Amino acid sequence: MSNLTREETEALIAEVLEVYPEKAKKDRAKHLAVNDQSVEQSKKCITSNRKSLPGVMTIRGCAYAGSKGVVWGPIKDMIHISHGPVGCGQYSRAGRRNYYVGTTGVNTFGTMNFTSDFQEKDIVFGGDKKLGKLIEEIEGLFPLNKGISVQSECPIGLIGDDIEAVSKKAAAAFNKPVVPVRCEGFRGVSQSLGHHIANDAIRDWVFEREGKDAQAFEPSPYDVTIIGDYNIGGDAWSSRILLEEMGLRVIAQWSGDGTLAEMENTPKAKLNLLHCYRSMNYISRHMEEKYGIPWIEYNFFGPTKINESLRKIAAFFDDSIKAKCEEVIAKYQSMVDAVVAKYKPRLTGKRVMLYVGGLRPRHVIGSYEDLGMEVVGTGYEFGHGDDYDRTIKEMGNSTLLYDDVTGFEFEEFVKKVKPDLVGSGIKEKYIFQKMGIPFRQMHSWDYSGPYHGYDGFAIFARDMDMTLNNPCWHKLTPPWMKPAEEAEPVAKAA
């Protein structure tokens, strides 16, 4: 199907909205838009970061997901207690594939679930004692942990437990950071507030902590940090090698494969490199103001954007880095050319619809374009106005933008736009696969990855080809449903 014109896209949105009651229709209409690159400010065409409508199937998460799942969870040498009932922690355990190096259960704890397992009596009498006991037990069982964070689940806020007092007491008793994070799930409209709360907790409880400068640190003029890269399938590693080949020294990874010591060292960096703007811009802005560390956004998806980003990063440093940056780009050029030569002919002209969170709805567009594919619709689960400001320029004219899309709207859009590939989360995966549309789970790279960097691009191209050109998509109609003439050779063969 050829691309839709502006009028057709507008008509499509109107058609999809038709089923809603009057009030819901009015509300949802503000979240759906046709992209227009001439618009300077996204809020003129799209509303975002608003409460989801009751009754629709939203794809969002909660503040606890934003704090424990995204920001704090990947910090490997700390223990993150899911404080509250057992489910929140158990059902999200290790689902995000934040890879790390270490011995789980000894000095790293990334894929483990620690919970206070609230029961009725804890709700009635309060859970502070239980939390204190839990921290003591952790210290006994896992003495090599570098610190503990207490990630509140909904009941903690509802019953008014004083986790700060317990944390302060435990921190003094064990001489380790114990960070209370007030990320109860009901706060805010999506996981986005959880990111903010988690960032503020790092600011107040990690940066401000006494005795954090105890470790030796020798500064170099090329110290940078990777901020907002969660090492999904090894993403941060494939980003890090590029920066190191350029001659930079990566002193911290936030927070994929990151440690507490790295976080504490971050204020000594020369430049903060921010990948996921949505989840970590808060702390980057704080460090810029308090410690005078500039930050820049970069994009390591697809060679075009990688080259652009590497040059942008090198521009902050002296000529030796700039020269090495060009060497790195030249070094990988032949590999990139081979990948493009192999996969572009198989993928060119294919159309993609995305619906993910964080940075991917705009960052991966470059990757697809490098393979000759086109993104015809994109949207954020929990983006804000500033995310859409940055997205409008990346997307083609009269493509679809959808904020906090509902299950129904997304299905209808896909039915009408008929993309060749849909990239979204696990909840959408099987719906679209059953509809016969190739699908990639773009939250954790469909159990593949890494996708960052030049090495990641090769894997990305392979995965997209593997999904799109999989022979199974021609087998969706069973033989007895096929028209007679088509079914015949099968009958003969049998």
Partner 1 sequence: MANIMIRRGDKGEYVFYLPKRDLEDTIVSMEFDTPEKWGGEIKLNNGGAYLIEPQPAPERLPYSVRAKRLDAAE
Catalytic residues: 62, 65, 96, 195
Please pick, from the candidates 22, 40, 120, 485, the single residue that binds partner 1 as defined by CB under 8 A: 40
Residues 380-409 interacting with partner 1 (rule: CB under 8 A): 384-386, 389
User: Residue 382 or 457: which CB sits closer to partner 1?
Assistant: 382
> What is the closest distance, in whole angstroms, from the C-beta atom of residue 196 to partner 1 in the complex?
8
> What is the closest distance, in whole angstroms, from the C-beta atom of residue 288 to partner 1 in the complex?
5
User: Residue 292 or 483: which CB sits closer to partner 1?
Assistant: 292
CA 467, 468, 471, 474 dihedral sign is: positive
In 3D, which of 378, 343, 372 has the Cα closest to residue 357? 378
User: Residue 384 or 443: which CB sits closer to partner 1?
Assistant: 384
Residues 7-26 interacting with partner 1 (rule: CB under 8 A): none
CB-based contact 231:74 (threshold 8 Å): yes
**Which 8-state DSSP code applies to residue 135?**
H
Please pick, from the candidates 289, 330, 349, 480, the single residue that binds partner 1 as defined by CB under 8 A: 289
Q: At a CB cut-off of 8 Å and minimum separation 6, what does 346 contact? A: 465, 468, 469
Range in contact with partner 1 (rule: CB under 8 A) among 124-132, 284-292, 414-422, 449-457: 284-292
Please pick, from the candidates 25, 43, 209, 342, the single residue that binds partner 1 as defined by CB under 8 A: 43
Number of residues that bind partner 1 (CB under 8 A): 13
Q: Which two tokens stand for residue 337?
A: 């050319």
Q: Which two tokens stand for residue 21?
A: 């009651």
User: Residue 369 or 389: which CB sits closer to partner 1?
Assistant: 389
Question: Beta 439-441 vs 421-424: how paired, if at all?
Answer: parallel
The dihedral over CA atoms of 420, 425, 428, 433, expressed in degrees to the nearest 10, equals 40
CB-based contact 136:120 (threshold 8 Å): no
User: Alpha-carbon distance 48 to 382, whole Å?
Assistant: 8
User: Residue 132 or 385: which CB sits closer to partner 1?
Assistant: 385
User: Alpha-carbon distance 361 to 353, whole Å?
Assistant: 9
Please pick, from the candidates 285, 346, 416, 462, the single residue that binds partner 1 as defined by CB under 8 A: 285
> What is the closest distance, in whole angstroms, from the C-beta atom of residue 306 to partner 1 in the complex?
20
Residue 462 binds partner 1 (CB under 8 A):
no
Collapsed DSSP state (helix, strand, coil) of residue 85: coil
User: Alpha-carbon distance 302 to 193, whole Å?
Assistant: 29
Determine the residue type at 264: E
Residue 292 binds partner 1 (CB under 8 A):
yes
CB-based contact 183:54 (threshold 8 Å): no
Between 46 and 65, how does the x/- string for binding to partner 1 read (CB under 8 A)? Answer: ---x----------------
Q: Which two tokens stand for residue 327?
A: 């060497």
Residue 282 binds partner 1 (CB under 8 A):
yes
Residue 36 binds partner 1 (CB under 8 A):
no
Residue 429 binds partner 1 (CB under 8 A):
no
Binding site for partner 1 (CB under 8 A): 40-41, 43, 49, 282, 285, 288-289, 292, 384-386, 389
